[in-house]
Amino acid sequence: MKIENDFNDIDALGEDHLSSSSETPLRADAFELSSSEKINIIKDDVKHILETLGLDLTDDSLKGTPNRVAKMFVNEIFSGLDPDKKPSASTFDNKYKYGEMLVEKNITVYSTCEHHLLPIVGRAHIAYISNGTVVGLSKMNRIVDYYSKRPQVQERLTIQIVKELQKVLNTDDVACVIDAKHLCVNSRGIRDIESSTVTSEFGGKFKESDTRRELLEYIKLETQF
């Protein structure tokens, strides 16, 4: 049956963690509701899930969970869906004329797999070669954090970070490598505790093998958290 096939295909796509596009698939009406309206609706949805599982929500320990989870979704772990939360684009002139590669290593990534809504935890390494504009180092952390706070696919997160920095720095010469563990792989399904996933996006000069090799030497990948 066609419908069942489509459903199975979609399920398989999620289980394999494939993404359909580099843009987060947001609906046009994504921001018509205010944050507090969203929290109110999600609170009831979480309550419904827990009740359906048979839990007694009058128990003191569970009473506050629906509201707590709803607030966490909207204000914290999915707050990067909101374009208003995007870090401001303050840049500086490169007054030291530093024309070499700048690498910001081991930026903590806390994201959420959009196929299972379980955590993705790891490190991002970002590099760029300035063409006259530089950003503050903490800015790179904030960009990683912003795009991480969405239901994500690791490949898409990597590309979104690179695209944003290319725009901010006005250069194609930006790269990002992410090494992360997906709890949906580590704690359920195949239950592979040791595995981690590495994704990379190399723009501009980082497509050249010498530049790329130099970056990878700086990084010397090692997942730790």
Of 168 and 184, CB closest to Zn ion = 184
| Segment interacting with Zn ion, rule: CB under 5 A, options 85-93, 128-136, 144-152, 184-192 | 184-192
Residue 18 beta carbon to Zn ion: minimum distance, rounded to whole angstroms = 11
Task: Tell me if residue 176 is catalytic.
Answer: no
Per DSSP (E only), the strands in the chain are 91-93, 101-113, 119-129, 133-135, 151-152, 174-182, 197-202
Task: Tell me if residue 115 is catalytic.
Answer: yes
121 binds Zn ion (CB under 5 A): no
In Å, how far from its chain's centre is CA 47? 26
Q: Residue 169 has which token pair?
A: 């720095």
153 binds Zn ion (CB under 5 A): no
107 binds Zn ion (CB under 5 A): no
Annotated binding site for Zn(2+): 113, 116, 184
- Candidates 115, 123, 149, 150: give the one binding Zn ion (CB under 5 A): 115
Residue 182 beta carbon to Zn ion: minimum distance, rounded to whole angstroms = 5
Contact 112, 152 (CB under 8 A): yes
| Segment interacting with Zn ion, rule: CB under 5 A, options 36-44, 73-81, 115-123, 170-178 | 115-123
Task: Tell me if residue 222 is catalytic.
Answer: no
Distance separating alpha carbons of residues 178 and 201, to the nearest angstrom: 9
From residue 32, alpha-carbon distances to 40, 140, 142, 152 in Å are: 14, 29, 25, 22
Q: Which residues are CB-contacts of 68 (< 8 A; sequence separation ≥ 6)? A: none
Residues that bind Zn ion (CB under 5 A): 113, 115-116, 184
